[in-house]
Amino acid sequence: MPGNAYAGPMAPWPGLAAYGRQVTLAGGQRLFVFEASAASAPALLLIHGLGDEADTWRHVFEPLAAHYHVVAPDLPGFGRSDPLRRYSLPALRDALLALLDALRLPSATLAGSSMGAMLAQMMAAQAPRRAAALVLVDGTVITGGAPLSWPLLAMALPLVGERLYTGYRRDPRAAYESLRRYYADLDALPPADRTFLFQRVNERVWSDTQRQAYLATYRAAAWSAGGQGRTLAAALARSGIPTQILWGERDIIMPVRVAQALLELQPAARLTLIPGAGHLPHQEQSAAFLQALLAATEAQPA
């Protein structure tokens, strides 16, 4: 299939299209969000991870909207949101806090996947009153114990990362296969999901904006990792913000031992393992994930 089949704006997952809109922040930057709400419901902010978009929540967004005012943004530079001039985790954190301001949400349960979980923790540390609770999905500022694979290490290298990223343009199938390590069983996903992911990963590959956002954010996060994460997690433990950790039992990107290391610093947090799931349990085992999230936030079925 020619490369230009993947160029242009990303179409939402069909079931989410009706909920999508642009929100303009105080500084003029526009973020694309999916937003839906139950009447008088508490707010829930869903934060995707690195190299992903808000569509990652496609199987849980509508069910959660039966209980919450759900907001799922594309982070700046990812998906359909405006890029940043300079990428860093604090810059992404500040954009999310600005989004809460733009939507006039004084606080929300902050639920993040992978890097999104790191951003949720950083938001809670920066503005504790904005965090009603934390839900950390296969991600945390505690990075010790996570394996370092060659593809991830190579992406951190200038020029090498750019070459690897754009190299997938020559082979759409290889781009799709790069997703395999994020799932316990990529082939077991429903056909609609596999078709969607094939298109979506190749759209990312052909987007220069998303390439810049991915590499710059990844490098900024990689170089800033270290003891700061443990300090932040310890501070959150003292804050008393309710924290639930939801983790794919078969995650090889961030193995369960990473979650257990976080528990040592935040013993009041609760850990729920999602059987049969890899790094993205909300996609792969959405029913079990939804049940665990609702139980953790004490929401009852409508």
In the predicted model, is pLDDT for residue 295 greater than 80? yes
69 forms bridges with which residues in the sheet?
37, 43
Residue 195 lies in a domain: no
* 3 has pLDDT over 50: no
Residue 302 is predicted with a pLDDT of 37
pLDDT at res. 149? 64
Instruction: Give me the CATH number covering residue 144.
Output: 3.40.50.1820
pLDDT tens for each residue of 21-76: 999 999 899 999 999 998 889 999 999 999 999 999 999 999 999 999 999 999 99
Q: Please check whether residue 181 lies inside any domain of the structure.
A: no
Domain that holds residue 76: 11-148+226-296
pLDDT > 90? residue 229: no
Q: What is the pLDDT of residue 155?
A: 73
Single-letter amino acid code for the residue at 129? R
164-192 pLDDT per residue, tens: 899 999 999 999 999 999 999 999 999 99
Across 103-112, 140-149, 228-237, least confident range:
140-149
Is pLDDT above 90 for 203? yes
Query: For the purposes of burial, counting CB atoms within 10 Å of the CB of 289, is it exposed (0-12), middle (13-18) or buried (19 or more)?
Result: buried
- What's phi and psi for 12, nearest 5 deg? -65, 155
Nearest to 217 by CA among 99, 95, 101: 95
Residue 72 domain-assigned (yes or no): yes
b/e for 25-42, b at 16 or more Cβ within 10 A? Answer: beeebebbbbbbbeeebb
227/20: higher pLDDT: 20
| Cβ partners under 8 Å of residue 134, min gap 6 | 109, 110, 111, 120, 121, 124, 236, 241, 242, 243, 244
Number of domains within the chain: 1
Q: Is there a domain that residue 33 lies in? A: yes
Q: Using the predicted structure, report yes or no on whether residue 151 has a pLDDT greater than 90.
A: no
Domain assignment of residue 254, yes or no: yes
Mean pLDDT, to the nearest integer, of 215-242?
A: 80
Crossing angle for the helix pair 208-224 and 89-102, nearest 10 degrees?
Answer: 110
Least confident of 149-158, 234-243, 250-259, 277-286: 149-158
C-beta neighbour count of 174 within 10 angstroms: 14
| Within a domain: 210 | no
Residues 96-138: tens digit of each pLDDT = 999 999 999 999 999 999 999 999 999 999 999 999 999 999 9
| Structural domain includes residue 91 | yes
Q: Has residue 301 got a pLDDT over 50? A: no
In-domain check, residue 199: no
